[in-house]
């Protein structure tokens, strides 16, 4: 008798301890995500647009998944931490169902983000004579079309859809960063990248509006990261004009000004959408300020490796980001402890950096207006 009671007590203790971390902090029953490599959980890899890309093998994924999943990081991305905080499984890449006949259940959400994706499509860049080579043509419009295709499998009637989407979270971005990255990395002038800002914002506004008209009620639209602190872009713009670097963090000021311009215009655009669609809750996620915390005070946040150097790639140049050695490619090395680095492979961040940004979102600190 006594033993039984002890067993029951012990058992219930185990249950309560195990269920504690499962209590969700965010109350959403499904998540739909649009974007680029910052949030792609496998679409680019599945798409086959590039045959056996380096993101399809270790060390990608080494920190958390122990294998490559198509995520452009050593582990989880911001969207994975958002899914965890909502008590939901990691969001399935949409192309998993299209490219294989494996039937995927998307009732808890779908991820349409594709690494390398731009907000604008190929013709937009072509018309402007930018002649850039895109890694993928799965732009924001295509991702939106995928959503419309999937929608009838999620809900049928209008009232049914209203009920379903009332409990859904839509993440629109980060997207648009690549619209600047492609021309900048192809050595087009800085001004030409700057001139794209209004067109990038228009496209994001257009698709965000279209999603609301399709039934989205709660939306998070993230801005761009401080790209002036990105290892590949620092390497590309590497120059000896000391005054162009921020003395506080050694990031490249003109590029950060570009990100800030994009973010300011995005915030203004979202304000207009709030007027137009008062029934929708449209939140801005401030990735820029959240990431700036660790670029300004790296050791305070555990980034005791060099915060501007890539963890994975070649040990070369000021940023470990010279284009002759790429992470996962020939001659590449990986730092011992990625959790002490913010930059993973030159262009993408580490799980530790993404965790920092996600925590800032989940706490409500870098999201406005707040969730409730
Ligand atoms: C990865 O491997 C570690 C160590 O073996 C293990 O603790 C962890 O659960 C694994 N992660 C996954 C997602 O399988
Ligand atoms: C998927 O199913 C279709 C029709 O049933 C078939 O033609 C196709 O070969 C299958 N594809 C794969 C990847 O199994
Ligand atoms: C994207 O579309 C353009 C124009 O149709 C084409 O030339 C290019 O090869 C495509 N790129 C990819 C990665 O599919
Ligand atoms: C988005 O842009 C397309 C093409 O210009 C247009 O047809 C559509 O009406 C726009 N959608 C919204 C919701 O503004």
Quick one: pLDDT at residue 100?
Answer: 72
Nearest atom, ligand 1, residue 65 CA: 13
**345 labelled catalytic:** yes
Q: What is the mean pLDDT of the chain?
A: 93
CA of 227 to the centre of ligand 4 (A): 29
Query: Whose Cα sits closest to atom 14 in ligand 4?
Result: 206
CA of 221 to the centre of ligand 3 (A): 27
pTM for the full model?
Answer: 0.92
Is there a domain that residue 259 lies in?
yes
Quick one: pLDDT at residue 129?
Answer: 96
> Which of 178, 206, 194, 165 has the alpha carbon at shortest distance from 44?
178
Quick one: pLDDT at residue 239?
Answer: 78
- Given 3-state DSSP classes, what are the helix, strand and coil percentages for the chain, each rounded to the nearest 5? 45, 10, 45
Is there a domain that residue 306 lies in?
no
Query: Whose Cα sits closest to atom 2 in ligand 2?
Result: 101
Quick one: pLDDT at residue 12?
Answer: 40
Is there a domain that residue 304 lies in?
no
Is there a domain that residue 141 lies in?
yes
The residue segments making up the domain with residue 357 are 23-227+252-292+351-368
**36, 40, 74, 345: the active-site residue:** 345
**230, 286, 332, 348: the active-site residue:** 348
Ligand of minimum distance to the alpha carbon of 62: 1
Is there a domain that residue 256 lies in?
yes
Is there a domain that residue 332 lies in?
no
**348 labelled catalytic:** yes
| Tens-place pLDDT, residues 315-345 | 889 999 999 999 999 999 999 999 999 999 9
Q: What is the 3-state secondary structure (H, E, C) of 122-153?
A: HHHHHHCCCCCCCCCCCCHHHHHHHHHHHHHH
Ligand of minimum distance to the alpha carbon of 58: 1
* pLDDT averaged over 10-residue windows placed end to end, the chain, 372 residues: 41 41 79 98 95 96 98 98 97 90 88 98 97 96 98 96 98 98 95 97 98 98 98 91 95 97 98 98 98 98 95 94 94 97 98 98 94 67
Quick one: pLDDT at residue 14?
Answer: 40
Is there a domain that residue 305 lies in?
no
**Which mutation among 62, 63, 66 tests ligand 1's pocket best, with the greatest number of atoms within 8 A of CB?**
66
- Are residues 314 and 334 in contact, defined by beta-carbon separation less than 8 angstroms? no
Count of domains in the chain? 1
| Tens-place pLDDT, residues 96-151 | 998 776 689 999 999 999 999 999 999 999 999 999 999 999 999 999 999 999 99
Is there a domain that residue 260 lies in?
yes
Residues ≥6 apart with Cβ < 8 Å to 55: 44, 45, 68, 70, 71, 72, 115, 328
- CATH number, domain with residue 355: 3.40.50
Please tell me the distance from the alpha carbon of residue 71 to that of residue 143, in angstroms, as a whole number. 17
**30, 36, 37, 356: the active-site residue:** 37
């Amino acid at each position: 008798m006594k033993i039984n009671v002890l067993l029951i007590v012990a058992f219930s203790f185990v249950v309560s301890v195990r269920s504690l971390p499962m209590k969700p902090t965010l109350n959403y029953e499904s998540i739909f995500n649009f974007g680029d490599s910052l949030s792609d959980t496998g679409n680019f890899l599945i798409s086959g647009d590039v045959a056996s890309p380096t993101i399809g093998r270790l060390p990608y994924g080494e920190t958390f998944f122990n294998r490559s999943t198509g995520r452009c990081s050593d582990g989880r991305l911001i969207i994975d931490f958002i899914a965890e905080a909502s008590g939901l499984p990691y969001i399935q890449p949409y192309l998993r169902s299209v490219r294989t006949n494996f039937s995927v259940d998307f009732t808890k959400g779908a991820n349409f983000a594709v690494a390398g994706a731009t907000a604008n499509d190929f013709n937009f860049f072509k018309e402007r004579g930018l002649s850039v080579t895109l890694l993928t043509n799965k732009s924001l419009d295509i991702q939106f079309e995928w959503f419309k295709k999937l929608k009838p499998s999620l809900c049928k009637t209008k009232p049914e859809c209203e009920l379903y989407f009332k409990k859904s979270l839509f993440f629109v971005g980060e997207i648009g960063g690549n619209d600047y990255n492609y021309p900048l990395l192809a050595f087009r002038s800085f001004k030409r990248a700057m001139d794209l800002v209004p067109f990038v914002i228009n496209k994001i506004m257009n698709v965000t509006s279209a999603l609301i008209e399709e039934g989205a009620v709660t939306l998070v639209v993230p801005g761009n990261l401080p790209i002036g602190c990105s290892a590949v872009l620092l390497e590309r713009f590497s120059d000896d004009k000391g005054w162009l670097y921020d003395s506080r963090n050694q990031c490249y000021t003109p590029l950060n000004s570009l990100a800030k311009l994009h973010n300011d215009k995005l915030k203004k655009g979202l304000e207009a959408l709030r007027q137009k669609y008062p029934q929708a809750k449209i939140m801005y996620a401030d990735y820029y300020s959240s990431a700036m915390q660790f670029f300004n005070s790296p050791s305070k946040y555990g980034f005791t490796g060099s915060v501007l150097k890539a963890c994975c790639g070649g040990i070369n140049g000021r940023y470990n980001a010279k284009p002759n050695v790429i992470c996962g490619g020939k001659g590449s090395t990986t730092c011992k402890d990625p959790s002490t680095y913010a930059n993973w492979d030159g262009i993408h961040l580490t799980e530790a950096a993404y965790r920092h940004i996600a925590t800032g979102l989940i706490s409500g600190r870098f999201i406005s207006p707040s969730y409730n």
